[in-house]
Amino acid sequence: MPRILTKGSRSGVEDDYAGWSDEENLKHYNIAFYDLLDLENRKYEVVHPWFDLEDAVHFPSRDDVVQFLFGGNDLVIRLPEHQEVELRGEDREGNTERYSCDLFEWLPFYVGLNDGEEGSDLIEVRDGFEDWEPCFANDFEWEVVLQRIAQRSRYRSTPYSDPRPRPSKPGMSQQVQSRAAPRSSDYGPNVEVEVIAEENVGRTIAAEVGLVADDDDGDPVHSDGSVYLIPANSSKKFDEFTQDILVEVFDVDVEQVPEWLDDYQVPGEEDILSEIESLESQVSELEQQVERAEWFRQLLFANDEDYSDYGLEKPVREAFREMGLTVEGEKPGFRDGGIVLDDQTIILEVTGRKRGVRLGKVQKLERHVEDAEEEGYGQDRSGLLVYNPFRNEDPESRSLNPNNFREELEDRGFKFITTYQLYQMLCAYERGEIDTDDVVEKLTGEDTIIEFSGSVGHGGDTLRGRIDSVRQRLDRLF
């Protein structure tokens, strides 16, 4: 009876199961199933394999795979829908970033997918591979083609290298380094490819790959084991996919789980479902919080134009409200809102621009304050110009000279704040570093140009990704 390993997903018939962060010893098994489609679906849960971090993906070394195959063992890979995925890692400052990861980089030969063209459901299994037909049954459809399988020209046992951009030295531009042509000793083992199944137009969708290496006398030696690159069948879960292959291809006597078993509840099922539903409700609340939190990032790039999909005025008003202030809405054609304090009303003019500050906006704010006085709106009125200058540039690299408009503001008793400063205040408030009184003190203090130096974390994509990951895991439970 062969010893069976599954990696990523459970089949119910394996001797051992390994999660993506587990360090399995491939050479302890005779048949191994690696579910790369599952890894692609879990891309927000795991870390790029190069990093020495918790949740980092672990793959066997290329040399281990070579020894495994020449030992007469077989590796079955359930193909992903894309060759590369973005996985978490850390930049050189320790901030969370996402880096591209080739899901086939760990193999001792090159695999290239074509995932950019529409696939076909007209599939033909080649003669001699009829045992694989169950993998393509039940209205099988697939969108990915095995475009190229070849020998590696730059072979090393440890597959993944540092995905971070190389640091550039100050004052020097980064130059592309020339690479010498690979020597014969740089090449990995050669490959023998047999097409298992192809589309009606001759494109390969499943293949068997064997290795060929030279012995000490220079004679070719063929591996007794193979790597099988097999697409997923949407009508079959991983356990059925695995059991079909074990029974039909490898002649392993697998005791099938009877179909009627699903008609019976598991012990405590009602309590478990109730708990899952409670978790789903919490996830839904988190999704709403994330959506609102992401919405505030419009403070960093939006403008005030009515035709823009990303408005600025509403996020500005909501940011002040989020920090505990009473903010009244805009009066179209007049003010963009008003912050109501105990003994003062601050009239708002909110604007965003691809360039710097226009003095005309200070004059416009002055008209807003005068209109409010005529209307009798508020008390002890002052003005606050909330500006998003150079809005298409990264806020950390924007250069703004307040001296160009400071005098105009001081003459009228107005104040100025950039939306980036406002965003930093909001982040600090949410972290509990400042409170509403601190915000009021900034708005009513002596400084004409309101500045706030707070840290703004990076990695918002990770936040959304983690929520999506939890949602996917709950969906699998249901």
Structure confidence by residue, pLDDT tens digits, 376-413: 999 999 999 999 998 888 888 888 888 889 999 999 99
**Model confidence at 83: pLDDT above 60:** yes
Q: What's residue 122's pLDDT? A: 79
Residue 92, number of CB atoms within 10 A of its CB: 11
Question: What pLDDT was estimated at residue 455?
Answer: 64
Mean pLDDT of 185-214: 91
Comparing 280 with 69, which gets the higher pLDDT? 69
Least confident of 241-245, 286-290, 369-373, 447-451: 286-290
Kindly state the average pLDDT of the residues 135-156: 86
> pTM of the full predicted structure?
0.62
Residues 6+ apart with CB under 8 A from 280: 474
- Does the pLDDT at position 2 exceed 80? yes
pLDDT tens for residues 404-439?
899 999 999 999 999 999 999 999 998 899 999 999
Share of the chain above pLDDT 90, in %: 56
The three-point CA angle 365-367-369 to 5° equals 75
Q: What is the pLDDT of residue 476?
A: 60
Sorted by sequence, the CB contacts under 8 Å of residue 249 that are 6+ apart come out as 131, 132
pLDDT grade, residue 212 (50/70/90)? very high
Phi, psi at residue 33, to the nearest 5°? Answer: -115, 125
Contact 372, 362 (CB under 8 A): no
**Is the pLDDT score of 460 beyond 60?**
no
Q: What pLDDT, on a 0 to 100 scale, did the predictor assign at position 191?
A: 96
Q: Is the pLDDT of residue 457 over 60?
A: no
CB-based contacts of 56, cutoff 8 Å, min separation 6: 21, 46, 47, 48, 49, 50
**What is the structure's pLDDT at 308?**
45
pLDDT band at 306 (very low <50, low <70, confident <90, very high): very low
Query: Which tokens is 308 given?
Result: 């823009």
Please name which of 355, 317, 364 lies closest in space to residue 338, comparing C-alpha atoms: 317
pLDDT in tens, 15-71: 999 999 999 999 999 999 999 999 999 998 899 999 999 899 999 999 999 999 999
Taking residues 304-324, what's their average pLDDT?
78
Predicted confidence at residue 434, as pLDDT, reads: 93
Domains of the chain: 4-162+183-264 (no CATH), 294-460 (3.40.91.30)
Mean pLDDT of the chain: 87
* pLDDT(121) > 70: no
pLDDT at 12 over 50: yes
Residue 471: per-residue pLDDT = 66
pLDDT at 307: 38
